[in-house]
């Protein structure tokens, strides 16, 4: 069917809005990063082309850009945050860490907490639901408490995934020194890292916030390899679990590209 004028218009305005939002994000959050300025320029060119009635070439961001690794040296003395929920009834850390803080924290846990399990690997996930638009500002501490409540009361679980990442940082959810729940076949041996977004959709996969959540996920995995004794050969995706039919962490995410990016970060943390 040939789209009507008003259908064409609504597709156009949706495209315009998405591009404008993307550009606003680049400008507000990543202006200091040179390649993001180039991205913002490309988006501006597209907006102009759209305004002139031209057809758009899709913008394909580099699949797995590395996170900014320029400032990983922690200044001062690191004090680990208090867990939001302590004790043995579904304890959660529930705190956010910057990249530099996360390195210090992983080292601190390794040295100071007694481990209730012996992790040997890492499994990556996407959150799927919630997706990016449901969490416009990423996670907060209340979200951590709400997830614990849901896992405990709706799923009947006594623990959850170890880490959540969003476009702002790395959240430790399940204490790293304890076994979690995230993938049937891997719960007893692997850390679970959940990246905010639904990467079965192009909208979340290509959005700079989605790219950033994945970059934080790669970073977290690399730090666990470097500082928590996880082998660099032991990264996998939830979809590698024969017990699931999910495409987690999303059909757009390519495993070997992702793994290569993680291994590059390992050398720098």
Q: Are 93 and 164 in contact (CB under 8 A)?
A: no
User: For residue 44, what are its two tokens?
Assistant: 């501006």
Residue 207 is a binding residue for Zn ion (CB under 5 A):
no
Nearer to Zn ion, 221 or 248 (CB): 248
What is residue 139's DSSP assignment? -
Strands (E), 61-136: 95-97, 121-126
R_g of the chain, CA atoms, integer Å: 20
Cα–Cα distance measured from residue 7 to residue 169, given in angstroms and rounded to the nearest whole number: 39
How many of the other CB atoms lie within 10 Å of CB of 44?
Answer: 15
Report in angstroms the alpha-carbon separations of 186 from 52, 160, 171: 52, 12, 20
CB of 187 to Zn ion, least distance (A): 12
Nearer to Zn ion, 67 or 160 (CB): 160
140 alpha carbon, distance to own chain's centre: 14
Q: Find the part of the chain contacting Zn ion (CB under 5 A) among 54-62, 204-212, 237-245, 260-268.
A: 237-245
66 burial level (CB within 10 Å; 0-12, 13-18, 19+) = middle
What is residue 228's DSSP assignment? S
Q: Which of residues 129-158 bind Zn ion (CB under 5 A)?
A: none
| # binding residues, Zn ion (CB under 5 A) | 3
Nearer to Zn ion, 110 or 234 (CB): 234
Residue 172's H or E segment, with its range, is strand 170-172
Residue 214 is a binding residue for Zn ion (CB under 5 A):
no
Nearer to Zn ion, 125 or 143 (CB): 125
Q: Are 223 and 172 in contact (CB under 8 A)?
A: no
Residue 162 is a binding residue for Zn ion (CB under 5 A):
no
Q: Which of residues 17-56 bind Zn ion (CB under 5 A)?
A: none
Pairing, β 121-126 against β 170-172: unpaired
Nearer to Zn ion, 125 or 168 (CB): 125
Q: Find the part of the chain contacting Zn ion (CB under 5 A) among 49-57, 218-226, 228-236, 243-251.
A: 243-251
CB of 205 to Zn ion, least distance (A): 15
Q: Find the part of the chain contacting Zn ion (CB under 5 A) among 12-20, 27-35, 102-110, 235-243.
A: 235-243
Q: Find the part of the chain contacting Zn ion (CB under 5 A) among 33-41, 63-71, 92-100, 124-132.
A: 124-132
Residue 238 is a binding residue for Zn ion (CB under 5 A):
yes
**Nearest residue to 20 via CA among 41, 39, 47, 45:** 47
Nearer to Zn ion, 253 or 269 (CB): 253
Residue 190 is a binding residue for Zn ion (CB under 5 A):
no
Nearer to Zn ion, 125 or 179 (CB): 125
Residue 248 is a binding residue for Zn ion (CB under 5 A):
yes
Which positions touch Zn ion (CB under 5 A)?
125, 238, 248
């Amino acid at each position: 069917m040939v789209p009507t004028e008003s259908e064409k218009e609504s597709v156009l305005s949706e495209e315009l809005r998405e591009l404008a939002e993307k550009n606003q994000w680049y400008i507000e959050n990543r202006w200091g990063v040179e390649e993001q300025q180039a991205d913002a320029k490309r988006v501006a060119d597209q907006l102009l082309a759209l305004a002139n009635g031209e057809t758009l070439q899709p913008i394909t961001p580099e699949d797995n850009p590395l996170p900014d690794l320029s400032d990983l040296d922690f200044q001062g003395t690191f004090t680990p945050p208090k867990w939001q929920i302590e004790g043995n009834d579904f304890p959660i850390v529930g705190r956010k860490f910057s990249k530099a803080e996360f390195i210090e924290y992983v080292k601190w846990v390794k040295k100071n907490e007694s481990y209730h399990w012996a992790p040997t690997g890492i499994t990556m996930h996407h959150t799927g639901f919630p997706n990016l638009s449901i969490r416009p500002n990423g996670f907060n501490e209340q979200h951590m408490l709400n997830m614990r409540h849901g896992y405990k009361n709706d799923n009947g679980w006594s623990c959850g995934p170890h880490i959540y990442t969003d476009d702002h940082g790395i959240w430790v959810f399940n204490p790293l020194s304890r076994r979690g729940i995230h993938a049937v076949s891997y719960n007893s041996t692997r850390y679970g890292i959940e990246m905010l977004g639904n990467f079965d959709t192009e909208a979340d996969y290509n959005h700079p916030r989605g790219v950033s959540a994945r970059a934080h996920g790669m970073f977290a995995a690399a730090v666990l390899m470097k500082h928590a004794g996880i082998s660099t050969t032991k990264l996998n995706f939830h979809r590698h679990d024969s017990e699931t039919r999910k495409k987690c962490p999303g059909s757009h995410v390519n495993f070997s590209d992702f793994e290569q990016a993680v291994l590059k970060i390992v050398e720098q943390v």
